[in-house]
Chains A and B, each alone.
Chain A
Amino acid sequence: MSESNFRDELEKVWVPKNVGELEGLLLTIQNEPGKRILKHKIQQTIEVYRDPNQKENYAEQHKKFNRYSRWFKVGGKGL
């Protein structure tokens, strides 16, 4: 596969560009029956995006590292 074709392939994987796109998605499925896991996850992600400390741009998002435990999601509230 050539370099340009490879990039085209990568482009085919959809990822949200910004929080607006996610909100739009949520609206389109909001009244559909079921899909509760999807609605829940999109809602969660929108809340994270809305955080003023979060960058909206996905490219920036995916560079950052979230240091959750690999053993289990941390649930402690700290000292």
Chain B
Amino acid sequence: MKSSQDITTSAKVGETLGKQLSKRNTSDHSLTVIIKVISACNLACRYCDADIYSNRRMSLDTVSQIIKKALDYADHVEFIWHGGEPLLMGIQFYEKVVELQKRYRREGQTIINSLQTNGTLISQEWVDFFKANDFHVGVSLDGPPEVHDANRIFKSGQGSFEQVMRGIRLLRENGVEFGVVAVITKETVRLGAKRFLDFFIENGIFNIAILPQRPALNIGRTDALPREEFEKFVIELFDYWYSLDDPRIEIRELDAILDRIFGAESKICIFGGDCRDKILAITPNGDVYPCDEFMFDYRYKLGNIREQTFEEILKPTNPKLIRIRLEDLKTKKSIKCKYSKICNYGCPKDRYVLSRVYNEEGTCGWCNVIDHIYKRVMKDLGKIKE
């Protein structure tokens, strides 16, 4: 188990950072860049919607341009290292990244590095690097083996659960701060919310994020977990989490909904409101998209960082940005839900998928979850009667 001291420290860091970030947003320029350093992976997850077969790798020249231009553009930059599997780039690549960040950083600028990995390649060497360079690590872990191994498999077909848990143990034993991201699939739903959360708690994992399994539109697949099933699962998860009443256990999305109910800003982008010029994603060849969720559609390409600066790409008069904003507005306008002031209309990708793939207009995909949480909270605050 993670010690209570670790958990407290982790919570304090999160709180302090939250305040710092909030301060920055009031007056300073900030940018989050999701950098797809590689289009290859050592896994072949059944639900994967990323490009993992073109085997493109980001060159040092491209990454150098991204870092320089991001630090020219914004006062506070979060680099999210992503793939494919970003650890396949090797430690030397990231040592160079840190060196470039130090070279181009100006006085007073803040740089945050986060990395999302499947966890199977984490070694002592990687752990030492993360620790020495203050990388925050997100590990993809869907739950116990019967759930995780149903989808997160090596190319041989073998499940990756054991290797991921070995990586997590290394992170924990070495005091590297990490969280897990779990994709909610039909296997998770079959397992049930209680057993899902118990698994993480029993393994000392207290920072959990959940994502619904989305359709892999890049390869033309539209199968995914139906919205109703996802919402039902999350409601069960909330009820169980809430009944445990332990603030040490953070479930990112549930935490964010409570933040919004109490009037705070969302700690995650999906309930944050306008993300279009704050979060960008870049492919290995430098193509820039508004979030990696839209990389499946070439029409969403905003530019190329090797040829343009972030100022040019994010110029309000960029016709591509205008068109994307108009499309966003269209999917927002159909939402007449009274909770939209809590969800901020949710994630543009979710609205895109719900409206275009499933012909489901007027929802961000979280309405029933928010309705359930809101009513429960109001009851406990004595604002509504049972």
Chain A contact residues, CB within 8 Å of chain B: 1, 6, 9-10, 12-16, 22, 25, 28-29, 34-38, 40-42, 44-45, 47-49, 51, 53-55, 58, 61-79
Contact = CB atoms under 8 A, between A and B. Distances in A.
Contact of A62 (B209, B247, B341): B341
- B136, B374, B383: residue with the most chain A Cβ atoms closer than 10 Å: B136
A67 B134 contact: no
Interface string B356-378: 00000000000000000010011
Contacts of B336: 1, 6
A74 B134 CA distance: 11
B383 A53 contact: no
B278 A10 contact: no
5 contacts: A16-B262, A42-B262, A68-B21, A69-B78, A74-B78
- B135, B267, B268: residue with the most chain A Cβ atoms closer than 10 Å: B268
Contacts of A29: 380-382
A77 B207 CA distance: 17
A76 B264 contact: no
Given A15-B263, A36-B245, 8 more contacts: A48-B265, A51-B22, A63-B273, A65-B272, A68-B18, A68-B21, A68-B266, A77-B134
Contact of B383 (A14, A44, A62): A14
The 3 A-B pairs with the shortest beta carbon distances in the complex, nearest first, are: A72-B138, A66-B265, A40-B247
B342 interface: yes
B267 A53 contact: no
B10 interface: yes
B228 to A, nearest CB: 22
B269 to A, nearest CB: 4
Given A1-B336, A54-B26, A74-B136, A35 B380 contact: yes
A38 B266 CA distance: 16
B25 interface: yes
Nearest to A29: B381
Contacts of B272: 65-68
B14 interface: yes
- A58, A66, A79: residue with the most chain B Cβ atoms closer than 10 Å: A66
Contacts of A79: 98, 101-102, 105, 110-111, 134
B201 interface: no
Contacts of A38: 258, 377, 380-381
B262 A41 contact: yes
What is the size category of the interface that chain B forms with chain A?
A: 35 or more
Contacts of B17: 74-77
A73 B207 contact: yes
B262 A45 contact: yes
A67 B112 contact: no
Given A66-B267, A75-B13, A36 B246 contact: yes
Contact of A64 (B136, B247, B265): B265
A35 B245 contact: yes
Contacts of A72: 114, 116, 136, 138, 179, 181, 207, 209, 252
A37 B245 contact: yes
B84 to A, nearest CB: 14
Nearest to A78: B110
A67 B32 contact: yes
- A41, A55, A76, A77: residue with the most chain B Cβ atoms closer than 10 Å: A76
B9 to A, nearest CB: 10
A77 B110 CA distance: 9
Interface string B114-135: 1010000000000000000011
A38 B255 CA distance: 10
Interface string B151-184: 0000000000000000000000000010101000
A44 B15 contact: yes
Nearest to B247: A40
